[in-house]
Structure 1
Amino acid sequence: MAILTAAVVQASAPLFDTPAALSRAEGLIREAARTNGAQVIVLPEAFLGGYPKGLDFDITVGRRTDAGRELFRRYHAAAIEVPGPEVQALAAVTRELGVHAVVGAVERQGGTLYCVALFFGPTGYLGLHRKLMPTAAERYLWGQGDGSTLPVIDTGAVRLGAAICWENYMPLFRTTMYAKGVEVWCAPTVDDRDQWQASMRHIALEGRCFVLSANQFLRRDGLPADLRTDDMDHVLIGGGSMIVSPLGHVLAGPLRECEGILAADLDLDDIARARFDFDAVGHYARADVFSLSVDESPRAAVRF
């Protein structure tokens, strides 16, 4: 029996304060590894760079304001570059601890920001996934990823992949990841609804994979002082992190109304046991009826 200990971190980081966010990420990875014995650790969506829940950047259709532009400048400045010093720092931590980690971040490339999942391991930085489809108002903050950043990382023990927040609702994205052989599905998110729990169990059952969902827990007092209101205890993001087995059983969580770390021992033999009667891209695929074409080429705006 092959056992892998996995952990999901439910926490938030200070908005517009990247050094503090990095320090918090480093500390939480260390805590999950040393206290919980985790070998794979997942942090929430946009942990580095921040998820500006409740902010509208003064946008209405056909109108922007100077105040909104200044707020975006602060957000742009708080994003990280890949590669960059924050990536190097987290790579040093996973090398030291000998663990794998998936960390949500906001990547800055020129004038465009991307919501990303960063992959780290015992050898350091391993790559990233850029969110393919920002949702609703996220679209005026973040650009769209392309098919060139859809990695599944072979750790030697398991194959790790990541889908960020509502990408988990994209059937063709899920099928692509199943075809790449994902066995531990990492889902950094800020979706705290009860419906999210059902989706995580569905993906585990559909993909016959373990699902590690890490959400933020954020109160209004976690925002910068100039963006707060009098209701400091108001919860902006309510958590709901969880770990699910390949047959859809909840192994840990959902964690609500507080920060914390959830851990579970994953019996990797459960993957084969679960795929005995269902393999979405194998014996249950009906390739004679259905097919999917995936373009993994990078889509640069300018080629020289």
Structure 2
Amino acid sequence: MAPVTVAAVQIASVAYDLEQSLVKLEEYCRQAAATGARLAVFPEAYLSAYPRHLDFRIGARTEENRAWYRRYVESSVKIPDGVEGVDWLATDAAGAVEAGSEFDAFKRILMAAKENKLNISLGIIERSLLGATLWCTNLLVSDQGILLGGDARRLGKHRKLTPTAAERVVWSGSSATNPSAFLDSGVAPTDNLPVVSTSMGRVGGVICWEHFVPLQRYALYRKGVEIWTAPTADSRPTWAPAMQFIAQEGRMFVISAGEPEDEVWSRGGSVIVNPLGEILAGPLWDSEGILTAEIDTDDILGFKLDMDCAGSAHYSREHDVFRFEVRT
């Protein structure tokens, strides 16, 4: 494949304000496209906030807590059923969506990708179609405005499997296979650790501290991921070295996007790394901005001379060290 430009977009949400966060998303999509980028990675939970100001006590909730949670739910994003791998923007369902409707935010995400001819990896807080369940979710949207995915079992959508620490108070966990409504209809569960094919290469990834779960990483390595998206809320100095290690381990390009707020809450630290663990751009600290780098996934073949941790013929050791099965 020909070399392409990719971008890590480091921006802060307009916390709990979905409309203004969408306006900002649309603007930064235009800016990323203007750099020549074909893929732009946005932070974890960008729409519409990472709940850094979470303040609950075990066994006690207040009216202020409940008012905050209502605001959080109302500023989250609903994803309609049946949008995997299809041009939903061309359907009657999309045409019926008007400003303020339950799927307006989803439509604007797709439009931002399509209008700018930009593939997008975007962290959102996803809301259940009924009720008020929330998931920390990452979307992969093509430059045609389509939620990436080849079939109904492999969506360009990943829900964080196990929220970290206090995140569990407000975010639901998920599973590597996503049963949801599909089980009711008799259709097989969807793949919640997808690696999807694009014109740039095979794209996949996980969210924030899921990066520290070895078997979860390995499941994606076995699916042949070449471009790893790493949306995060972790702005510690140790994050970039972790991305360098994972890039070397998986022999892939890593694009990590964080958010800057203030130096107390989050300093950013977005970074782009090549399969040898070498930093191509960043880390970016204490300001909003767009990092870019040129990559070529064909180079990965040469990098695997050194090591291929998922290669069945040499480094994987799936048969003599332990038995391993990728369920999805």
TM-score, normalised by the number of residues in structure 2: 0.82
Residue in 2 that maps onto 1:120: 141
Given the alignment of the two structures, is residue 207 of structure 1 paired with residue 250 of structure 2, yes or no? yes
Cα deviation, residue 62, structure 1: 2.0
Give RMSD over aligned pairs: 1.4
Residue in 2 that maps onto 1:85: 104
Unaligned runs of 5+ in 1: 220-233, 297-304
Cα deviation, residue 257, structure 1: 1.1
Given the alignment of the two structures, is residue 287 of structure 1 paired with residue 318 of structure 2, yes or no? yes
Identity %: 43
Query: Secondary structure at the residue paired with 1:29?
Result: helix
CA distance in 2, matches of 1:167, 1:120: 21
- 2:159 pairs with 130, 133, 152, which one? 130
Residue in 1 that maps onto 2:27: 27
Residue in 2 that maps onto 1:277: 306
Size of the alignment, in residue pairs?
279
Residue in 2 that maps onto 1:177: 220
Conservation of the 8 A alpha-carbon contact between 1:103 and 1:117: yes
State how 1:94-173 maps to structure 2 within 5 Å: 94-109=113-128, 110-124=131-145, 125-126=147-148, 127-148=156-177, 149-173=192-216
Residue in 1 that maps onto 2:10: 10
Query: Secondary structure at the residue paired with 2:254?
Result: strand
In structure 2, what residue type is equivalent to 1:262? L
In structure 1, what residue type is equivalent to 2:43? P
Which structure has the highest strand share of the two? Answer: 1
Q: Choose 141-150 or 40-49, whichever is displaced more.
A: 141-150
Conservation of the 8 A alpha-carbon contact between 2:120 and 2:143: no
Q: Choose 91-100 or 140-149, whichever is displaced more.
A: 91-100
Provide Cα deviations, 1:72-119, integer angstroms capped at 9, x if missing partner.
Answer: 111111111013221211212222222211000000112210000011
Provide Cα deviations, 1:97-145, integer angstroms capped at 9, x if missing partner.
Answer: 2221100000011221000001111232223110111001100010012
Residue in 2 that maps onto 1:187: 230
CA distance in 2, matches of 1:156, 1:216: 28
Cα deviation, residue 272, structure 1: 1.0
Provide Cα deviations, 1:32-88, integer angstroms capped at 9, x if missing partner.
Answer: 011x110010000000021121331xx222222222122111111111101322121
Q: Choose 166-175 or 271-280, whichever is displaced more.
A: 271-280
CA distance in 2, matches of 1:16, 1:267: 37
Provide Cα deviations, 1:201-255, integer angstroms capped at 9, x if missing partner.
Answer: 0110000000000000013xxxxxxxxxxxxxx5411000000000000000000
CA distance in 1, matches of 2:292, 2:264: 24
Query: Secondary structure at the residue paired with 1:237?
Result: coil
Given the alignment of the two structures, is residue 239 of structure 1 paired with residue 268 of structure 2, yes or no? yes
Residue in 2 that maps onto 1:69: 66
Query: Secondary structure at the residue paired with 2:37?
Result: coil
Conservation of the 8 A alpha-carbon contact between 1:172 and 1:292: no
Query: Secondary structure at the residue paired with 1:278?
Result: coil
Query: Secondary structure at the residue paired with 1:194?
Result: coil
TM-score, normalised by the number of residues in structure 1: 0.88
Q: Choose 118-127 or 173-182, whichever is displaced more.
A: 118-127
CA distance in 1, matches of 2:23, 2:205: 23
Conservation of the 8 A alpha-carbon contact between 2:252 and 2:300: yes
CA distance in 1, matches of 2:138, 2:279: 23
CA distance in 1, matches of 2:164, 2:211: 12
Conservation of the 8 A alpha-carbon contact between 1:113 and 1:141: yes
CA distance in 1, matches of 2:70, 2:114: 33
Cα deviation, residue 278, structure 1: 0.9
Residue in 1 that maps onto 2:261: 218
Query: Secondary structure at the residue paired with 1:172?
Result: helix
CA distance in 2, matches of 1:157, 1:25: 22
Residue in 2 that maps onto 1:43: 42
Query: Secondary structure at the residue paired with 2:111?
Result: helix
In structure 1, what residue type is equivalent to 2:53? G
